[in-house]
């Protein structure tokens, strides 16, 4: 029940953000209205997770390993956040959108749901479900799918710079960091489940986008 509550809450929060500050969420979805877009993503993502769980690829809740999962999701994303904050403080990482508090506390966790489904869960489930039950549970198959899928999010972020030939060293660093972050998230998903994977991203967002973003803007 908890994962579906999270997903449905993301739809409701998207509607609130679109109504209050549509200028933040609408550019992320192009010509598609944010609420229907997130609703479709939630429906597809929830279905994909249930199917992968049924085939033995992952579990939705961390269960008896909750304390271990909580420790992993508190420490490791913080390491990523510290590194990117240090790089930003020294060299400056271009950000096209910084949402100020208190709205950032809603915006980034909600958009994290959309990013998790679009860049990770849907592509992963498509490949794993295509492989069927015979490959279910094999770590080599999982990682053979997950490692290249982790490239989707950084490629999406640097695509405009690649298109006009303006990709900088900072852009390359950002892409590598986002890829490594995605691989780490898949490790968390594999070991601890969906909620831990999402928590991993939220902790990183709170430290990098919310806390550092507020200091950076100030």
| pLDDT tens per residue across span 146-184 | 999 999 999 998 888 888 888 889 989 999 999 999 999
Q: What percent of the chain has pLDDT over 90?
A: 33
Instruction: Give a three-class secondary structure readout of 127-170.
Output: HHHHHCHHHCCCHHHHHHHHHHHCCHHHHHHHHHHHHHCCCCHH
Alpha carbon 4 to its chain's center: 17
- State pLDDT tens for residues 42-95: 888 888 888 887 777 776 554 556 778 888 888 999 999 999 999 999 988 877
Q: Band of the pLDDT at 1, cuts 50, 70, 90?
A: very low
Q: How many domains does the chain have?
A: 1
pLDDT winner (highest mean) among 23-32, 88-97, 126-135, 150-159? 150-159
Name the residue among 95, 62, 101, 66 with its Cα closest to residue 174: 95
**Of 21, 200, 214, which Cα lies nearest the Cα of 109?**
200
128-143: b (≥16 Cβ within 10 Å) or e: bbebeeebbeeeebbe
How many Cα atoms occupy the beta-carbon half-sphere of 35 within 13 Å? Answer: 10
Question: What does the buried/exposed string (b/e) look like for 34-47 if buried means 16 or more CB atoms within 10 Å of the residue's CB?
Answer: bbebbbebbeebbe
Instruction: Give the mean model confidence (pLDDT) for residues 116-139.
Output: 83
**Cβ density class 92-108: b for 16+ within 10 Å, e for less:** ebeeeeebeeeebebbb
- Structural domain boundaries enclosing 181: 2-217
- Please tell me the pTM assigned to this model: 0.88
- Three-state DSSP class for residue 31: coil
Q: Are 45 and 117 spatial neighbours (Cβ–Cβ below 8 Å)?
A: yes
- The encoded tokens of residue 76 equal 């490791």
Pick from 29-38, 86-95, 156-165, 202-211 the range whose average pLDDT is largest.
202-211
> Hey, which of 26-40, 133-147, 178-192 has the most confident mean pLDDT?
178-192
């Amino acid at each position: 029940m908890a994962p579906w509550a999270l997903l449905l809450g993301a739809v409701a929060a998207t509607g609130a953000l679109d109504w209050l500050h549509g200028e933040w969420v609408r550019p992320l979805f192009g010509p598609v209205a944010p609420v229907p877009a997130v609703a479709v993503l939630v429906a597809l993502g929830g279905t994909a997770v249930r199917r992968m769980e049924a085939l033995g690829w992952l579990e939705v809740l961390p269960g008896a390993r909750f304390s271990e999962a909580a420790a992993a999701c508190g420490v490791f994303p913080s390491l990523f956040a510290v590194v990117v904050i240090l790089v930003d403080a020294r060299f400056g990482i271009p950000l096209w959108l910084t949402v100020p508090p208190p709205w950032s506390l809603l915006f980034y966790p909600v958009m994290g749901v959309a990013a998790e489904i679009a860049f990770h869960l849907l592509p992963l489930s498509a490949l794993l479900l295509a492989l069927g039950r015979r490959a279910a549970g094999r770590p080599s198959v999982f990682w053979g799918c997950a490692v290249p899928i982790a490239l989707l999010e950084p490629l999406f972020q640097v695509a405009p710079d690649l298109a006009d030939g303006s990709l900088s060293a900072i852009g390359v660093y950002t892409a590598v960091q986002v890829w490594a972050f995605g691989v780490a998230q898949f490790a968390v998903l594999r070991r601890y489940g969906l909620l831990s994977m999402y928590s991993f991203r939220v902790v990183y967002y709170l430290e990098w986008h919310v806390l550092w973003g507020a200091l950076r803007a100030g």
